[in-house]
Amino acid sequence: MSSPDPDGLLAEQLLRLTLRVHRIQKRHLEQHALGVTPAQSRLLRTLAHFGEPPRMADLAESLEVVPRAVTTLVDGLEASGRVRRVPDPVNRRVIRIELTAEGRRVLHELHGVRRTAAEEILAPLTDEQRKTLGELLDTLVGTVPPRGHC
């Protein structure tokens, strides 16, 4: 008989939580009929954090995905008028991606959708448990984001 693997159990719990978070966020996105996928939502949020319109490669690096995945996401968001490709002012061969007014509007709505989804996910936790979870996640992620930001 083998002894239980606590790290394996923890990894399994994290994976199940990740899937649950994804399902809940997807459901909330669908209920609000914003017409964006969770991946597009993530791209819009990431795009908003750049000081100037980033290159596709910058987005891919920030999202930790291959550039082709970003191209597909940008194509969909551009078709719906939420982002646009613009030439770099210094190097015309470089294309940058910027939010449109519609993209900023959707991003604002996404903030509320994410907050509602987070409230559902965190509902079973006390304030103290939420604080502890936040500290643990900061440690695991390796960065400490400013409080109050997505």
- In tens, the pLDDT along 14-43 reads 889 888 888 888 888 788 778 888 889 899
Instruction: Say which range, 28-32, 38-42, 47-51, 105-109, has the weakest mean pLDDT.
Output: 28-32
What's the pLDDT score for residue 115? 86
Predicted structure pTM score: 0.72
What's the pLDDT score for residue 2? 62
Answer whether residue 3 shows pLDDT above 80: no
Average pLDDT rounded to a whole number, residues 126-142: 90
Interatomic CA distance for residues 141 and 60, integer angstroms? 18
What's the pLDDT score for residue 149? 43
Interatomic CA distance for residues 52 and 24, integer angstroms? 32
Interatomic CA distance for residues 147 and 67, integer angstroms? 30
Quick count: other Cβ atoms within 10 Å of Cβ 45? Answer: 16
Answer whether residue 145 shows pLDDT above 70: no
What share of the chain in percent tops pLDDT 70?
92
Question: Which backbone phi and psi does 9 adopt, to 5 degrees?
Answer: -65, -45
The token pair at 3 is 């002894």
What's the pLDDT score for residue 57? 92
Interatomic CA distance for residues 83 and 73, integer angstroms? 10
